[in-house]
Structure 1
Amino acid sequence: MFTDKISIQVTAGNGGHGIVSWRREKYVPKGGPAGGNGGRGGDVIFVANENIFDLDAFRHIRIIKAQNGQSGGSQRKRGANGEDLIIKVPLGTLLKDKATGEVLFDFTYHEQKQIVCKGGFGGRGNACFATPTNRAPNKATNGRPGTEALIELELKMIADVGLVGFPNAGKSTLLTQVTTAKIKTASYPFTTLRPNLGYIKTYPHERGILLADIPGIIKGASDNKGLGLEFLRHIQRTQLLVFMVDLSAIDDRDPFQDLLTLRDELNKYDKSLLEKPSIVILNKLDTDEAQENKVGFHKQLKEHNITAPNFEICAITKEGLPEVVAHLKQSLQIARLHPETTV
């Protein structure tokens, strides 16, 4: 099961109590106050980690609490501080206030840290209250409680390229062919039930390309049909979109209408998605039906003024894939050097 949204009660550690204690020592009849201060409560700190890709670790966790500080001791001994609780989350995690939905923090790079709840201060022992006029104070203070918050973690994957297509269009096959990903592929719809990531290695000392394959989109996805809104959020942060179309027209589908439907669903969900650079991949070129359909498809692209670059491929045999990978490398190189440039 893929977990990309979770609600958690987070509580920092309480501060330890200060104590009332007296110096007891031979030949010192009036040793005076010697109560130590309490230790500080532990913080709850969230840290982004590039080696984590989902929120599955939190699936059965609803309460997170850091360690309390220890109470002070005699002979002015300070209580030990509570240990900070470090929580690792994947890149792309949004930390939200559960009640208001306000985004409190956005984890976008490796080892980025944010203190979500602060531990309480330790209380003061009676040694802190001694004055020239009150040399034997008989009071101490309790530690402060740690802060707490009801938060929501929402994952929006940070990938360079997002693969978008109907079920059984061949997105997962493409991902396995051009990246190091090992994922399930089969010739039936909805084989992919969770987003998958794959990495294309580029030249030495150059940043590679991270691809995200989300489960197939169907008409009405923006209204939460099929797997719906559950995974559309994962393509919001991509730099480039790949619309993948089954050109063989399986189940009497219309390939060009599939493309229009995909674009329409993304537009309904988030209009800015269609402003991203994109390409169109026409898959299953090895079939006779695809050969018959491609002429009409290109004609309709011109009629609808869709100018995105398009590539004809067969993902299974790898035909046309080198050209696709080369274009992705070139496009992303431009996008990274000039983020304001549309590829």
Structure 2
Amino acid sequence: MKKSILIGVSIATVAAILLAAVALGFGNTGTKFNALSSAEADNTSASALPEDKAALEAQANTEISEIAMKGAIQQAQSNVSFRIIEPMYIPSGYKFESVRGTKFVGATNDIDVASFSYKNGDEQLTIKEIIVVKTRDDRTQPSTLPKDTREIVEINGMEERFSEENGIKFLSWKIGNLSLSITSWKNEGQNQTSSSLSKEEMIKIAESVREKTPEKAIAEAQAKVSFKILQPSYIPAGYRMNTAQTSGTKFRGFSLEAEQASIFYIKGDEFFMKNEYLTLQELLVLKDDTASNITAPKTPWKFVDINGVQGRFLETSDGVKQLSWEVGNLNLTIGTHAYNKSGFTGTPLSMEEMVKMARSVK
């Protein structure tokens, strides 16, 4: 039991450091995490051959970059009212820079915007997702709009629009009431010129901005971890898998190595602030050399039976609930929460429903 608590403390500390760095925006995200991964690669491959060391460094950079991006998306998500959809395809050479969520209050419209930024040398690529939250009467708006002369292109079977003006390529389309766009250009001093990114590649990016099927989301997460991801056969009524956030992650630190699969479920419509969230996290600790003399604070757990194993249930003062247990060498946790203007809050989901879900995870 004490070891399980210590593992939780270690992982929570690591996650908090990584996510806090992203959330506070200390400089360039890629730079921060590349520096961390380089230090780790140097530590783990000091005796490796040069070609092996390069491969290890590349792998470490990729793993840390994925952690950075997931953390940045979660931070951006907390600032917008819709569910951010991550692109599944980015052209070779482009590296993730940032993702931001912003609210704008205008004279006629209130809008929420999520913006992904990627860079390839001097070339810039941005993907924006916009939703109109509130519209006010505008008596000055013209009754007729000018004819749209942009080129018509097909994105996932729908007619959408592409244009290029002053070297800037622009592709726009819609998914339900979400308006999306891709912009591409090259920076040459103070000027913006045409990038090498083709219209076809931009369309390919656009077609990848969609929700994955649950099967594909699990398969992609499974490819990132060495253990078999367990899934529940029972999910509380009204919840569905949030495939955009479901993921598998590896973490390699100086004293801790772990793998984690996270399956997210959501209840509600497309507006983020109205949703309730349910998460299943599966953690495999491969190495833990952290100090074992840490005394965990006394926690008011409620103990429940999960298929013959002792589970621990906790509800915080703000109503956020957590249920933890073990299956073999996996540490599993089900958590449920929602959001309000001040941050996390609880949901009506009962402990009994969470226990029922936990017992179905096999």
TM-score normalised by L of structure 2: 0.22
- Bigger relative contact order, structure 1 or 2 (CA pairs below 8 A, ≥6 apart): 1
